[in-house]
Amino acid sequence: MDSKFKLVALFGKYQTSSSSSALASSRAALEAVAHILNAQGCDVVLEAETASNMDIVGYPALTMTQIGAQCDLGLVVGGDGTMLGIGRQLASYGVPLIGINQGRLGFITDIPYHSFDSCLTRMLHGEYVEDHRSLMNGRVMRDGRCVYSAMALNDVVVNRGATSGMVELRVEVDGHFVANQRADGLIIASPTGSTAYALSSGGPLLHPSIPGWVMVPIAPHTLSNRPLVLANTSHIAIELVAGRDASASFDQQSLASLMHGDRIEVTRSTHHARFLHPKGWSYFDTLREKLHWNEGVAST
């Protein structure tokens, strides 16, 4: 029986700083995955930048726009950072994504590379569960004009400069004043991003089914300034009142320099990323494995 997915796009992990051995390993992984896809009756294409940077030939190379319009499935071989970037770009097209983990944590690229073949084969034949993750729209407003905008799957972060002191931020939710906060920064995280920077800053874990965000201060001056869970229908505005060299980042992958008086506005996107997981997948299993819960505790 052939795969449910006819045309599959492959995405790999590459950076200009990657060593030749790391690129060779990534290239070998992509070629192994392509072989499995072909064996299951899939036509394989490569994302154009992946093909160019990894020097892989023998497969058509398509742009992201072409992949969104033509492909039935995207298969990401890399880590969560790679998946975040692809997820943002393909969310508006509704293309589902499967992640094979060659990174470290793998909260959303959850198929281990060492055992991907049997798991992937079952998924291609329909043995999977689908998981939708909401995105955020972020923009920087300056003197009433939008000077920067981006989508985020994990988080929108306002941060102080690397060598400067605290920033002072005025926070509003749905037009209501919340507080003036002095801290190293502020994180607005989705449930997907609640296991990332927000977690390391003391924020709670949000189940992906919860239609909410978490607002987490980074090293706040006032210890009573605690994380706050908000509805993801909220309109959040963060104004930079004081602080030098501050910036706003979106999934830690795009950056905007801020000036005093700038407002960073966060709203819910109309788009969702579609992730496919192996049948039987559980969010709690992922947390237990990745956060090393139950270590040293006898199972029952």
Catalytic annotation, residues:
80
* φ and ψ at residue 286, rounded to 5 degrees: -60, -45
Q: Cα–Cα distance between 298 and 30 in angstroms, integer?
A: 38
State the DSSP H helix or E strand holding residue 167, giving kind and residue range, or none if neither: strand 167-173
* Cα Rg of the chain, angstroms: 21
| Strand partners for 185 | 159, 218
Q: Which two tokens stand for residue 65?
A: 């726009």
State the alpha helices, DSSP H only, in the chain.
20-39, 48-54, 64-70, 80-90, 116-124, 197-200, 283-290
169 three-state secondary structure: strand
Q: Quote the CA–CA distance of 274 and 133 in Å, as a whole number.
A: 7
Q: Tokens in use for 299?
A: 């199972």
In terms of DSSP bridges, do strands 128-142 and 263-278 run parallel, antiparallel, or are they unpaired? antiparallel
Query: In degrees, to the nearest 5, what angle opens at C-alpha 232 toward C-alphas 266 and 256?
Result: 20
The answer for 252, left when phi > 0, alpha when psi is -120 to 50, beta otherwise, is left
DSSP letter at 205 equals P
Beta strands 228-231 and 254-257, pairing class: unpaired
